[in-house]
Chains A and B, each alone.
Chain A
Amino acid sequence: MKYYLRRIVFYLITLWAAISLNFMLPRLMPGDARAIFIDKLMRRGGEITPAMENSIDLVFGTADSSLWEQYLRYWGNLLRGDLGISITKFPAPVTELIAAALPWTLILVGTATVISFILGVALGALAGWKRGTAADAIIPGMTLLQSVPYFWLALIFVAYFAVQFRLFPIIGGYSLRDFPAGPEWSWAFAQSALYHAVLPAITIIIASVGGWVLGMRNMMVSTLSEDYVVTAEAKGLTRGRIFTWYAARNAALPSMAAFGITLGFVVAGSIVMEQVFTYPGIGKLMINAVQDKDYALMQGVFLVITVTVLAANFVMDLIYGLIDPRARNNV
C-alpha cells in the first residue's frame, strides 16, 4: 500500500508545480492580453471609446494587483472551473472551447493510439517470436512508415483517398452539409462522425504503429534468451503459454511504460492531424492560441495537457504495479 500512497503524493506535488508554472509562464512572456486585445481592435479600424474601455476592463480585469493576489485568484478561479475568456474567440469562455474540443480529440486520437499500441505490440511479439523467418520482413516496412513525416502522409492520404477517389470526406468531424445545426443524438450523426474519423485514424495508426512493432520485437528477442524462458521450455510447457505468459508479458513491460507517456500526449499530439483534416479537436485551439498570443486559451490548453499527461502516467503506474511485482517492492 505504501507504493500507491507514495505515488499519489508524488503526483499531487507535480500537479501543484505544473499548475503554478502554468500561472507564471504567460506572466513572464512580454505583452499583456489587454493591450494585445486593444491593439487588435484598433488594427481592424475600430476605435476605443471610454465606454469600450470600461467593458474591456470588465472582461480582463485590471492588472494592478500583486502577483500573490493574482496567484490566489488564479487558484480560486481554477477551483471554480473558470479559465478565463479567450481573446481570439472572444467572448467565448476557455472552458467552453475546451469542453467542445476535448471529446473529439480524446475519442479519435485516444482510440487510434490504443489501436496502434495493441496492433504494434501484437505484431512485434509475433515478429520476435518468429525471428529469422519471413515474419521479420515486416520490419523494413515498419521502419519506412516510421520515417515518413506524419504531415506528408496525411496530406497524401487526403489528396488520394479524399479528393481523388472521393472515398472519404476532406474536412470536419461530421458532414457540415447534412448537419448544419451541429451534433445531435442520432444514428445518422454517429455514422457521419465515424465516417469522418476513419481517414484521420488510419493516418495516425499507420504513422505510429511502426515504433511499437520495432520496440516490442527487440524486447521479445532478448526476453526469449532469458533463463526463465529456457526453463519453461525445458519443463515442456505449451508454446502458447510460453509465448503469452513468459515471453510477451515480460517483453511488453517497457512498451507499457512508454504507452503511458504516449497516452498522455494524445491531447498535444493531435495538432498536425487536426490542422490537415480541420478536425474539431484541441490541438487546433493550441495553434490558434499560440499564434495569436491568446494567453487565457493557451493556459487552458496547457493545463488540460498537463493534467492528462499526469493522469495517464498515474494510471499506468498503478497498472504497472499490478503486472510487475518488482515495482511495488522496490520502493
Chain B
Amino acid sequence: MLTKSGWKRAAVAALMAGVLGLSACSGSDSPAGGGSSAGTEVKTEGPVLAVFAGSQTPIVANFNPYSPTLLPGTLGSIYEPLFFYNKADVGDPIPLLGTEYEWSEDGTSLKIGIREGAKWNDGTDLTVDDVIYSFTNEAVSMDYLAEAVKADDTTVELKFKEPSYTNEYAILGSTYIVPKHVFEKEADLVTFTNAEAPVGTGPFKLSTVTDASYNVVKNDSYWDAERPTINEVQYLGIDGNSSAESLFKAGQLDYSTMFVPDPTTLTADGHLGYLRLSSPNPLTILTCSNAELGCEGAQTDKAVRQAFSKVLNRDEINEKAYYGHASLAAPTFTLPERDEQWIKDGLPQLVDGGADVEEAKKILEDAGYTLGGDGIYAKDGQRASFTVNSVEGWSDANAAAELMVSQAKAAGIEVKSETVTLDQYTEDRQVGDYEMIISALFGTPISDPYTIYRNSFTTDYTTPVGTPLDARQTNFARYSNPVVDEAVHTAAQTNDEAVKKEAYGKIQEAIVEDVPYIPLFHGGSQTFYNQDDFDGWPTEDNKYAFPASWDALQAAYVMSQLTYK
C-alpha cells in the first residue's frame, strides 16, 4: 500500500503532537479490560474484536470477491484460496481448501488435491466443480490457463499454455474459491454486490451490515475444527487515523495497522501490543534511465545514477523524513531478511546507510566528469544535474527530496527538487516524461523476487518514452538489458531452485551495476493489537502471517488464530 495521503498523516501527526503535549501533564488512567484467568481449556466467550482495516464511512455492502470495491473481510474471512502463503516469512504454503499440489515435469500442468468435507456456509458441500468454476469464470479469466479439468472427485488438474511455475502464487494463493451454485446465477460478476448472506467456506460469515460498520461471526461449520475460536469481529468505518488513535486510547479498538509517528503514545500502558514489519514494496527513486528508449537528462548516464546513490545519506533521510520508521532496502530489490537466500554471494545485502562522498566523486571522475566552476561535475557540456519530483502533499517524500538536494551537492551533483500533483505523477510515470521521481515498486508477496524482476526490469514490461505503459507494466525506468531478459526467461521455465538462483544472480549483478532505480527503504507497517483480551497475535519471533489489518487474507488468517485470554 503506497502512501495514499501523506498530507493527511502529516497534518494528523502535527495535530496529535500538539494535543498530546497538552494532555501530557495529566496522568495515565488505568486501561480497560480484565485480568487473564489462567487455564488450559480454550475460553469460548469474550469481547467482539473491533478492527479498523481502512474502511471509510459510509460503508456500502459489497462482498463480491471480484468487485473492485469489495470490503475488507471478504477475502480470507468469507472466501478462501487453496493455500495460505505467508507474506512475512519464508516457508511452505499452508493448505486451506487445497491439500496438496504437484507440478508436471514441464510445468504445463498442475494437479491440486481438494479438501474433503469442506462445506459452504449454506450447508452444501465444496466440490471440484466449484474449484473449476473459480478458475474459469469470466471474472477470473486467466489468459495462461488452457483448461481446468476434474481428475477425480478430489483432484483438479489445471493445464497451461506454457510452463507456469511463476504463476504458482496467483493460482494457489490468490485465486479465491467461490460457490458455483450461487455465482453462476449472476448475470454480471462485477456489479453483483453479494451483500446478503454471502456464501463462502471461510472461518467467518457475515452477520450484520450498516453504513458505519459490519460484523462477521464464527463459521461453526468451518472445515478446521480448531479455528476460529473468537466468536465475532466488527469492522469499523473510521475517517482518518486520528480517530482510530483515539479509539485505541479509549480501549474501543482492538486491531489496526496504521501510521503513528510515535507508537509509544499508544503502547505505553501495556494494553496494546505493537509489531512493526517491513512492507515488501521498496521505496525507490524511479529514474528515466534509458536514452535509447527516449529518456533525456544527466541521469541517463549510469555513472551519475551510481554516484547519486552513493552520496545519499539514507540514515539521515530516514530519521528526518520518515520518522525513523523505514528500514534500508536491498540493492538487489529483494526484501531484506525474508529473501536473503536469493541474493547472489558477494553482492551487498543492504544499501549503505551513510553517504560516501569520496566514492561518489571518484565514480564521476572515472567516468570522465570534471568539476566545473559552479561546483557541479560536467562531461561534454552535460552537467550532472537533474530534477527529483515528489508528489505534492506526500510530506515524507517531499522532505526526503529536500534532503537529497543538499546531500548531492556535497559530491558535485545538482539536484532540483520539485513537487507534482498526483495526477501529473501518475501520468509522468506511465509515459516516462520525468528525470527522477520518488515512488515505490511493487515487491513480491512471497519470497521469490521473480515478479518484481519481470515487471520492473525486463524489456517486455516497458515502452518507449511517450507511449504509456499498460496497467501490468511497471518498468518505469525504461530499463532494457538482454542479460536480464534472458535470465528472467530462464527462471520462468524452471522449478529448480539452483537454476533459478543462478538466473537471479545474473539479474542482480546487472541491476546493482546499472541502478535503473535507486533503492532507498522499505516502509514499516505498524500494527497495534489488544493483548489484554486476545492471545495468539504474530510476534517478532513468530511471524506466521503479515499482520496488516488491511491485508485481506493475512489479516483473516491472524483473526482465525486468535483466542480469548
Contact = CB atoms under 8 A, between A and B. Distances in A.
Nearest to B32: A166
Nearest to A181: B208
B208 A158 contact: no
B58 A159 contact: no
B550 to A, nearest CB: 12
Interface stretch (B99-107, B235-243, B490-498): B235-243
A164 B239 CA distance: 20
B167 interface: no
Contacts of A277: 243
Closest 5 CB pairs of A and B: A182-B210, A42-B471, A51-B138, A92-B60, A89-B60
B210 A180 contact: yes
B246 A177 contact: no
Contact of A90 (B67, B188, B189, B211): B67
B450 to A, nearest CB: 16
Interface of B: 5, 15, 19-20, 22-23, 26, 29, 48, 50, 56-58, 60, 62, 67-69, 138-139, 141, 188-191, 193, 207-215, 234, 236-240, 242-243, 246-247, 249-250, 252, 423, 471-472
A162 B69 contact: no
A276 to B, nearest CB: 7
A183 to B, nearest CB: 8
Contacts of A290: none
Contacts of B15: 151-152, 155
B246 A162 contact: yes
Interface stretch (A3-11, A280-288, A321-329): A280-288
Contacts of B5: 291
B58 A285 contact: yes
A204 to B, nearest CB: 17
A281 to B, nearest CB: 9
Nearest to B64: A91
Interface in A16-63: 30-31, 37, 39-44, 46-47, 49, 51-52, 55-56, 58-59
Contacts of B139: 49, 51-52
Contacts of A88: 69
What is the interface residue range for chain A against chain B?
35 or more
B68 A90 contact: yes
Interface stretch (A167-175, A208-216, A257-265): A167-175
Interface of A: 30-31, 37, 39-44, 46-47, 49, 51-52, 55-56, 58-59, 86, 88-92, 97, 100-101, 151-152, 155-156, 158-160, 162-164, 166, 170-174, 176-177, 179-183, 274-278, 280, 284-285, 288, 291
Nearest to A275: B239
A298 to B, nearest CB: 15
A170 B208 CA distance: 22
17 contacts: A42-B471, A88-B69, A89-B58, A90-B67, A90-B69, A97-B58, A155-B19, A159-B22, A160-B23, A170-B252, A171-B247, A176-B213, A176-B236, A182-B210, A276-B243, A277-B243, A280-B212
A30 B240 CA distance: 28
A183 B138 CA distance: 38
Contacts of B189: 51
A44 B68 contact: yes
A302 B211 CA distance: 21
Contacts of B48: 177
B275 to A, nearest CB: 23
A278 B243 contact: yes
A100 B61 CA distance: 14
Contacts of A177: 48, 50, 234, 252
A278 to B, nearest CB: 5
B58 A156 contact: no
B157 to A, nearest CB: 23
B239 A278 contact: yes
Contact of A180 (B215, B239, B249): B215
Given A90-B68, A159-B246, A275-B240, 6 more contacts: A89-B58, A159-B20, A170-B247, A177-B50, A284-B56, A284-B57
Nearest to A182: B210
A155 B242 contact: yes
Given A162-B246, A275-B240, A278-B243, A182 B211 contact: yes
B57 A156 contact: no
Contacts of A37: 68
B138 A40 contact: no
B interface, by DSSP: helix, strand, loop or mixed? Answer: loop
Most buried by A among B26, B190, B242: B190
B23 A164 contact: yes
B247 A55 contact: no
A171 B60 CA distance: 18
A276 B242 CA distance: 8
A92 B193 CA distance: 9
Nearest to B47: A177
A55 B250 contact: no
Contacts of B26: 164
Contact of A89 (B69, B212, B236, B247): B69
A156 B191 contact: no
B138 A49 contact: yes
Contacts of B56: 284, 288
Contacts of B237: 278
A155 B18 CA distance: 10
Contacts of B62: 90-91
Contacts of A43: 471
Contacts of A59: 191
Contact of A176 (B212, B242, B471): B212
B243 A100 contact: no
Interface centre among B48, B236, B252, B472 (most CB of A within 10 A): B252
Given A89-B69, A155-B242, A278 B215 contact: no
Contact of B212 (A47, A163, A173, A276): A173
A40 B250 contact: no
B250 A163 contact: yes
Contacts of A176: 210, 212-213, 234, 236
A183 B23 CA distance: 34
Contact of A47 (B19, B141, B249): B141
Nearest to A44: B68
Interface-centre pick from A42, A86, A100, A155 (highest chain B CB count, 10 A): A155
Contact of A156 (B22, B208, B212, B247): B22
Contact of A162 (B188, B240, B250): B250
A159 B249 CA distance: 10
A87 to B, nearest CB: 8
Contacts of B19: 155-156, 159
B250 A166 contact: yes
Contacts of A160: 23
Contacts of A275: 239-240
A266 B246 CA distance: 27
A172 B212 contact: yes
